[in-house]
Amino acid sequence: MRQQTSFIFDLDGTLTDSVYQNVFAWKTALDSENISLAMWRIHRKIGMSGGLMLKTLARETGLEINPDQAKRLSDKHAKAYKDLRGQITALPGAVDLLEALDRDQLKWCIATSGGMETAAINLKALGLDIANVNLITRDDVKYGKPDPDLFLAGARKLAVPIEECLVIGDAIWDMLAARRCKATGIGLLSGGYDTGELERAGALRVYEDPLALLQHLDEVASRP
C-alpha cells in the first residue's frame, strides 16, 4: 500500500507573517519588568515555548526570572501580541497550500508553541475557523519545542505514524523537534533563519515560504 504524506505545520512564521510581532510583544513584556534584552536574542528563541524561552534567556544572560515574574511576562506578552493582531497576515501561499492539501485529500494539522489565545489570532489571519482545524497548542502538551511533544500529539490527532509526517516550520526548534521524533523536517525561510541553520538542525528541504513549498509540493508529498 502506498504511503500517504501527512503534514504538521508550525504557525507563527510558517503560515502567518507574525514572527517579528511576536518578538516585539516579548520585548514589550520584558521592558515592562525592567529586563533589558536585545531583540535579536529574543528572535533566536522564537519557536520555543514561552516558558522554556524565558528559562533559556535567563541562563544565557545571567538574568533571574522567578515563577511569578515569568507568569506576568507571559500574560503581558499575550496582551502585547493581541494589540498587534491587526498587523498579522497570512504568508504568501499559505491559504492556497492548505486548500491544495484538502483537494488532494492529504491530512494536515497545526501544532504551535503558542497558547490558544495567540493561535486564534493567527487562525483568523488565515481565514480558518478554529472549530474546524486540527489544532494542538502548548496548552495540550507537557513540553514545548524543541521537545517533540507537539508534533507527536499532531500525529496522534491525524491518526498517522509520526514517521509518515512532514513537519513544516521556520525555526531550528521545529527541525530539532522533528528530528527527535523521527518526522521529516521541511524548513521555511519566512521566520528569519537561513538555509544553512535549518539544514544543520535537520531540514530535508528548505523553501522560501508556503508559496514556494506549494510550487514544489511534488518534491516532498506522496498522494493517496
Grouping H, G, I as helix, E, B as strand and the rest as coil, residue 175 is helix
| Catalytic residue from among 10, 147, 149, 209 | 10
pLDDT in tens, the chain (224 residues): 457 899 999 999 999 999 999 999 999 999 999 888 899 999 998 888 777 888 887 887 788 888 898 889 989 999 999 999 999 999 999 999 999 999 999 999 999 998 898 999 999 999 999 999 999 999 999 988 999 999 999 999 999 999 999 999 999 999 999 999 999 999 999 999 999 999 999 999 999 999 999 999 999 987 66
C-alpha cell at 130: 478554529
Alpha helices in the chain (DSSP H): 19-32, 39-43, 50-61, 67-83, 94-103, 116-125, 149-158, 172-180, 195-200, 210-215
Residue 224 confidence (pLDDT): 63
In the 8-state DSSP scheme, what is residue 98? H
Which domains are seen in the chain, by residue range? 6-18+88-219 (3.40.50.1000), 19-86 (1.10.150.240)
Helix (H, G, I), strand (E, B) or coil at 12: strand
pLDDT of amino acid 49 = 77
Taking Cα atoms as reference points, which of 124, 94, 86, 106 lies closest to residue 213?
Answer: 94
* Strand bridging mode 16-17 / 89-90: antiparallel
149 belongs to the catalytic site: no
10 is catalytic: yes
Active-site option among 12, 17, 170, 174: 12
pLDDT recorded at residue 1: 43
CB 80 within 8 A of CB 96: no
Q: What integer pLDDT is reported at residue 62 of this predicted model? A: 83
Distance CA 113, CA 123 (A): 14
- Alpha carbon 8 to its chain's center: 10
Burial class from Cβ neighbours inside 10 Å (0-12, 13-18, 19+) for residue 134 reads middle
